[in-house]
Structure 1
Amino acid sequence: MIDALLSILRVLGALLLLYFLPGYLLVNALYPRKGELDREYDRLYRVTLGIVLSIAVTVLWSFLLNSLGVNPETGLGYVAPANTAAGLVGLSALFFGIGWWRGAYPQLARIHPSLARTPASSPSEFASVEERDHRVRLRLQELATSRERLRRVIRDAERRMHLQSPDAKSHFEAKRDQARTELRNIEAELLKLEEERAAELY
């Protein structure tokens, strides 16, 4: 029973090492930022590329072993299960180390704070953040200008209400009420934008 279980575990470990682990760790080393491959299907892309790259890494490592010629001690080539497994484990460890250094595994900080690494932001990411912040600032200025204009409209309508006839007074009341409604909407949008901007900054 135990021998059968160990055999199954060895097969699963071999399949994982041959067809998934090295490539997946290589993908994380190349693209450490979450969502870098795709915002919605990033994990699926990583798994798929990991399988493909694992096969490629295994083939290239086998070519390298085969290029070493014949082992004089055994009279056979160096493409043997032990050599293949050792090489793939070593490459996986190397890819994992590179990925950790580039910030692909921020969850390791839960084990120890010294393991915390964050991925560097790309220039395009900096540009997109700066561009978005610029658009938000322009929108805030537009809303602030509209708010002041509506406040003047409300004050002017209230002043005219006291000077006009009843018919004209109802006209300015409607104008004031409409301006107040627009002002409430603008103030709500201003508050929302300011809260979102504060959340991004802090």
Structure 2
Amino acid sequence: MGRALPDDVLGAIVATARVVGALVLLFFLPGYLLINALYPRKGELDREYDTLYRLTLGFVLSIAVTVFWAFFLNSLGVNASGFGDVTAPNLAAGLIGLSAAFFVLGWWRGAYPWMVRVHPSLARLPKPGPGELLTEEERDHRVRMKLQELAERREALRRSIKDAERRMRLQSTEAKSYYETVRDKSRAELKVLEAELRKLEEERAAELY
């Protein structure tokens, strides 16, 4: 049989777990669940940094929820023991209850599609956003218009590069340096634009096929 942990070690582990749990409850969980309830669709806050936005806003809103809950407890007045109701058990119970309510609201609004793995009856999908209400033809038309715009900008940059190179051969040393700068700047812009164009074409191909 393995040796039992000493009481002081076990006590330290329990104390650490309680501190970590309290920090998560005070500074993360309620706000994060509230954000998910308010914005259930993935990418609704930001297309690229949605998770970062949710974590940051979750931290801020958790502090706000904790403060407002403490204000509510304080408004209840002084209890029979002569102390207010702003105690650790009351704070913890309230924040756990609010977190549970926010989670249920978020689930109802479709923020947790993975709940279907727990049970099929728990499957909920978020309502489509304004952009998702467009038909496939309308979305494809917008993408094609964007592709056309990027293609026109690409051709303009290519012409600018060719024109700068032609002028470099005809101008003096000082003017040549200027057109070299113009050419290099156009090349850098062209590189970024081609990457954006390639990404958009890949996304369109993935949606179509």
| TM class, shorter-length | 0.5 to 0.7
Instruction: Name the aligned partner's letter for residue 62 of structure 2.
Output: S
- Code of the aligned partner of 1:79: V
Q: Aligned-pair distance for 1:114?
A: 1.1
Report the CA distance between 1:97 and its aligned residue. Answer: 0.2
| 1:38 matches 2:63 | no
**Among 57, 61, 67, which residue is 1:49 paired with?**
57
1:89 pairs with one of 70, 83, 96: 96
Per the alignment, residue 61 of structure 1 pairs with 69
Cα distance between partner residues in 2 of 1:25 and 1:194: 35
Paired letter, 1:114: S
Larger of the two Rg values belongs to structure:
1
The aligned amino acid for 1:15 is L
**What is the TM-score when the length of structure 1 is the normalising length?**
0.65
Match of 2:18 in 1: 10
> SS of the counterpart of 2:33?
helix
Identity rate, percent: 66
State how many pairs are aligned.
Answer: 143
Change (3 A) 1:63 1:129: farther
1:79 paired to 2:94: no
Displacement of 1:133: 4.0
Give ranges in structure 1 of 5+ residues lacking alignment: 139-192
How far residue 28 of structure 1 moved from its aligned partner, in angstroms, is: 0.2
Q: Which runs of 4+ in 1 moved over 3 A?
A: 127-130, 133-138, 193-197
Q: CA shift at 1:110, angstroms?
A: 1.2
**Which residue is equivalent to 2:107?**
100
Distance 2:77 2:137 in 1: 56
Residue 124 of structure 1 pairs with residue 131 of structure 2: yes
> RMSD over aligned Cα, in angstroms?
2.2
Gaps of 5+ in 2: 1-8, 146-203
- Using a 3 Å threshold, how does the CA distance of structure 1 residues 127 and 5 change in structure 2: closer, same or farther? same
Aligned to 1:149: none
- Structure 2: which amino acid aligns with 1:68? L
Deviations 1:133-170 (A, max 9, x none): 455799xxxxxxxxxxxxxxxxxxxxxxxxxxxxxxxx
Q: Which residue is 1:162 aligned to?
A: none
